[in-house]
Amino acid sequence: MKRSSPNWLLGGGIFAAIGASVCCIGPLLLLVLGVTGSWISTLTAFDAVRPYFIGVFAILYLYIGWQLYRPISQCKEGSVCAIPETRRYYRLIFWGLLVISIILILSPYWVLWFF
């Protein structure tokens, strides 16, 4: 994978969003899957690092957005951002993953509706 490709940034942003939601949506998903046990309540210990994951998420997605929406004239010739079809493809992936990530980050608020 090329260093100029935003794939690793998109993956990092999704990882940060999952990390930010593991304290709240993790126990719910495990219970839905039929996994039980008192150890599930220990996932709330991740609540202390949640702001750091959200910060990493925000930094990565702001950088990705800047990379995807900067003018083509600023891109190196032959790089990923210089090809309009590729930019459009990455922008669609960016917005789709951004919506999923925001849903995961906001999970402590909407998970409460299920209980």
**Long-range own/partner contacts, residues 24-29 (CB < 8 A, 24 or more apart):** 24/107, 24/108, 24/111, 25/104, 25/107, 25/111, 28/111, 28/114
Res 108 pLDDT > 60: yes
The predicted structure's pLDDT at residue 95:
92
**How many CB atoms are closer than 10 A to CB 53?**
20
- 96 within some domain: yes
8 A C-beta contact, residue 63 and residue 111: no
Rounded Cα distance between 95 and 82, Å, is 19
- 54 within some domain: yes
- 63 within some domain: yes
- Total domains in the fold of the chain: 1
The predicted structure's pLDDT at residue 1:
41
Which one, of 47, 38, 59, lies nearest residue 19 by Cα? 47
For residue 89, what are its two tokens?
A: 């493809």
- 80 within some domain: yes
Q: Which residue segment(s) compose the domain that 87 sits in?
A: 7-114
- 92 within some domain: yes
- 1 within some domain: no
Each residue's pLDDT tens digit, 35-87: 766 666 666 666 777 788 788 888 888 988 888 888 888 877 777 777 888 88
For residue 64, what are its two tokens?
A: 């990705």
- 14 within some domain: yes
User: Under the phi-then-psi rule, with left for phi > 0, alpha for psi from -120 to 50, and beta for the rest, what region is 51?
Assistant: alpha
> Structure pTM?
0.63
- 2 within some domain: no
